[in-house]
């Protein structure tokens, strides 16, 4: 990753500096209070035993009604996929060292910062699962559902009033789908486009250090390579995702996938 392209991102983005305070200003002040005790909540780790998956045949009629907007049978049991989706979201919460992200990226220790880091990892999971056909798209919906349930729970624990919680969730929802759009564009483009998406959506227009942007671009690239190599059926049935560290003990060459085939439909 060339530092010059990162510097160009910072220079070309200067016109948007006036927008820097907008996302933070529209989120309830309670969402900006320290939330270190909420970074590793164990409440999502208890997954009940689930029935074995069953195969479901997909015929011509099913394909027809799907094209008309109706849901057809899936390859695996829906309940199994829902639980796998919960587990996948849990991996985005429990297996990430949020303190390290806050330190390396100079992010404030707040619920909003926690959400920005979490949504980046949720997005990477969504990109991977959208490659798994109808089952993957079905799973994506429940990964996102689990995320909003968790955000609501953490907001309640922090004592945010219902009216403020509703407004904050609305802002976070808009932020999330804007981030999805930007990250999707960045992952299939060059590093400067991905860096710009990270600057807007992770750093909230507040990054002045090109090395921080470079670190995060490399992180996303290597992480996507890693989870792209995971078996799709295993992900659908277990939701088990492991993450490479933010800073590698032994640096490796980080390269883009030669011919990405990301599918941005289905959410």
* Structural domain harbouring 68: 1-238
Structure confidence by residue, pLDDT tens digits, 9-53: 554 544 344 333 333 334 445 555 555 555 445 444 343 433 344
At 160 the pLDDT is 84
Query: Mean pLDDT in the chain?
Result: 78
- Does 65 fall in a domain? yes
b/e for 187-223, b at 16 or more Cβ within 10 A?
A: beeebbbbbbbbbbbbbbbebeebebbbbbbbbbbbb
- Does 222 fall in a domain? yes
Structural domains of the chain, count: 1
- Does 261 fall in a domain? no
- Does 250 fall in a domain? no
Cβ contacts of residue 2 below 8 Å, gap of 6+? 191
- Does 224 fall in a domain? yes
Q: What are phi and psi of 54, to 5 degrees?
A: -125, 145
Say which range, 108-117, 216-225, 245-254, has the weakest mean pLDDT.
Answer: 245-254
- Does 243 fall in a domain? no
At 29 the pLDDT is 52
- Does 202 fall in a domain? yes
Tell me the whole-structure pTM to 2 decimals: 0.73
- Does 188 fall in a domain? yes
Note whether 119 and 176 are within 8 A (CB).
yes
């Amino acid at each position: 990753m060339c530092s010059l392209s990162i510097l160009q991102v910072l220079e070309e983005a200067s016109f948007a500096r006036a927008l820097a305070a907008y996302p933070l200003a529209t989120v309830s002040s309670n969402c900006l209070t320290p939330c270190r005790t909420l970074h590793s909540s164990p409440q999502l780790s208890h997954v009940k035993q689930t029935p074995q998956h069953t195969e479901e045949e997909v015929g011509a009629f099913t394909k027809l009604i799907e094209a008309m907007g109706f849901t057809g049978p899936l390859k695996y049991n829906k309940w199994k996929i829902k639980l796998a989706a919960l587990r996948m979201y849990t991996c985005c919460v429990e297996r990430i060292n949020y303190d390290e992200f806050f330190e390396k990226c100079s992010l404030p220790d707040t619920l909003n910062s926690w959400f920005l880091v979490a949504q980046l990892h949720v997005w990477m999971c969504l990109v991977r699962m959208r490659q798994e056909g109808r089952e993957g798209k079905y799973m994506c919906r429940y990964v996102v559902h689990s995320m909003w349930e968790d955000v609501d729970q953490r907001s309640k624990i922090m004592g945010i009033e219902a009216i403020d919680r509703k407004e904050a969730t609305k802002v976070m929802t808009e932020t999330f789908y804007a981030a999805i759009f930007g990250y999707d564009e960045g992952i299939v483009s060059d590093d400067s486009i991905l860096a710009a998406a990270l600057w807007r959506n992770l750093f909230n227009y507040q990054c002045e250090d090109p090395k921080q942007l470079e670190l995060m671009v490399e992180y996303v690239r290597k992480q996507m390579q890693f989870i792209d190599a995971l078996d799709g059926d295993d992900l659908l049935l277990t939701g088990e995702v492991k993450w490479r560290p933010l800073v590698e003990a032994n640096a490796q060459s980080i390269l883009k996938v030669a011919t990405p085939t990301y599918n941005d439909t289905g959410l």
